Amino acid sequence: RGLMRMPRRVSQAHQRRAGVVLPLCNVDGVPCILFEKRSRHLRAHPDEVCLPGGMVSAASDISIVSTCLREMAEEIEGINPNDVTVLGVLRCNWGEVHHLTGIAVTPVVCFIGEIGGKVLKPNPDEVAECFTVPLVSLLDRERWVHRKDYAPIFTGGPHIIWGLTGYIIERFLKDVLARYSLHV
């Protein structure tokens, strides 16, 4: 219920559109989410934690999923797009997302499989490093900071996760994972 069915094509409802992948994975059997830390020399949001993704290319992207998979392949070598299972689009409050970024960002939830034995090579032009955070850590409410009128902040990983990425992760935890009884 927390995920919507896939859109057939990229919507033209907003002038500036982007997509991000919420990449679920296993690391040596432990369920995790894969994150990126942006390169420090980037003009926008340098050195910040993000999810793989980027702007829609009107010339080549036929759907938001194609945007997400293209961007993830450009940013991280070692993830084969053919091995990615697309689970759905995360429901978001577009007003909140637009307020955080000024761009209509669509999160696409995917499972990228077991990555414990894989060598993931970030594209140094865009990504400084890749890292994972176990779902059990993300589900620990003590590791989150909430302040009125700000996106949630996760403090329990190797890097602080905040802004749009914090918002998307919290939406996923509340709207998708909270529906299930998890035994950790």
Residues 41-77: pLDDT tens digits? 867 666 799 999 999 988 888 899 999 999 999 999 9
Residue ranges, the chain, pLDDT below 50: 6-14
Cα angle for residues 122, 128, 131 (degrees, 5° grid): 70
Q: How many Cα atoms occupy the beta-carbon half-sphere of 136 within 13 Å? A: 8
Residues 6+ apart with CB under 8 A from 17: 10, 11, 55, 56, 64, 67, 103, 104, 105, 106
Q: Using DSSP, state whether 85 is helix, strand or coil.
A: strand
pLDDT at 179: 76
DSSP state of 71: H
Instruction: Round to whole Å and give the CA distance between 136 and 92.
Output: 22
Q: What is the value of pTM for the model shown?
A: 0.87
